[in-house]
């Protein structure tokens, strides 16, 4: 009987110690959990507000209209998405801010390995994605404007019918350069991108030389004849 009582007493003591340890652990860890949750909630709110603000700014700049004129909407639609650059970039910014606050929450909780993964993989790579998207958007604006300027300038200078073709070449040259730069910024096969860039420059130079040699000789002859005519008229006067 005494042995049974002693056994029960020992078990009760051990159980009490276990509950005491659990209580002290919860009491020590619970404030950290609460603070981590509060930080995450604040990050979510800040990310949502900033993301919407970025989306409104891009919408006000009418970037989508430029992308539509550049033919980007057809590509995006065929891929099964809707063209909305404001929502896309705003979403990236929103989740980047949320992840930053999430990393801070994990740091408070002492989750070192998870925190390291989030920092190395997400925080170090997501800004590169945002920059790459911005490069493509800026390229769309520049390509559309350059196409009109080059085509108009070529038509005014030479009057040749290939002015539109020259504008198209300028347009796609900007796009290809931008795509190569965006992929290089993302670290996608940098050696391959460098080779592709070199090949594209060589191809562009060769195409330009052939275009001028084969299709531009008549325009050059007309331009030279016009200069001679102007000089002759000036001498006679």
Give the three-state DSSP class for 136: helix
**Full pLDDT tens readout for the chain, 237 residues:** 555 555 655 555 656 555 555 555 555 677 888 888 899 899 999 999 999 999 898 888 887 777 777 666 666 676 566 777 788 888 888 988 888 888 888 888 877 777 777 777 677 777 787 788 778 777 877 777 777 777 776 666 555 556 666 777 777 778 888 888 888 777 776 666 667 667 766 666 666 555 555 555 555 566 566 666 665 665 555
Rounded Cα distance between 56 and 35, Å, is: 32
Provide the whole-model pTM: 0.54
Six token digits for residue 19: 């509950």
pLDDT at residue number 182 = 83
Q: Which residues of 24-57 are buried (b: 16+ CB within 10 A; e: fewer)?
A: eeeeeeeeeeeebeebbeebeeebeeebbebbee
pLDDT at residue number 45 = 94
pLDDT at residue number 125 = 77
């Amino acid at each position: 009987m005494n042995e049974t009582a002693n056994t029960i007493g020992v078990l009760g003591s051990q159980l009490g110690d276990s509950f005491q340890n659990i209580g002290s652990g919860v009491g020590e860890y619970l404030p950290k959990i609460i603070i981590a949750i509060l930080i995450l909630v604040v990050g979510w709110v800040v990310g949502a507000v900033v993301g919407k603000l970025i989306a409104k700014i891009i919408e006000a700049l009418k970037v989508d209209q430029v992308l539509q004129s550049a033919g980007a909407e057809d590509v995006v639609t065929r891929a099964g998405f809707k063209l909305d650059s404001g929502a896309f970039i705003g979403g990236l910014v929103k989740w980047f801010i949320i992840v930053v606050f999430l990393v801070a929450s994990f740091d408070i909780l002492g989750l070192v390995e998870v925190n390291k993964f989030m920092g190395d993989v997400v925080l170090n790579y997501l800004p590169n994605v945002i920059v790459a998207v911005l490069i493509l958007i800026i390229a769309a604006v520049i390509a559309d404007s350059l196409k009109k300027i080059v085509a108009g300038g070529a038509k005014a200078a030479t009057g040749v019918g290939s002015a539109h073709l020259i504008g198209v070449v300028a347009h796609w040259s900007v796009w290809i350069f931008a795509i190569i730069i965006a992929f290089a910024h993302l670290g996608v096969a940098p050696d391959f991108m460098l080779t592709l860039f070199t090949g594209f420059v060589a191809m562009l130079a060769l195409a330009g030389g052939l275009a001028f040699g084969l299709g531009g000789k008549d325009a050059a002859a007309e331009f030279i004849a016009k200069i001679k005519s102007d000089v002759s008229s000036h001498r006679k006067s």
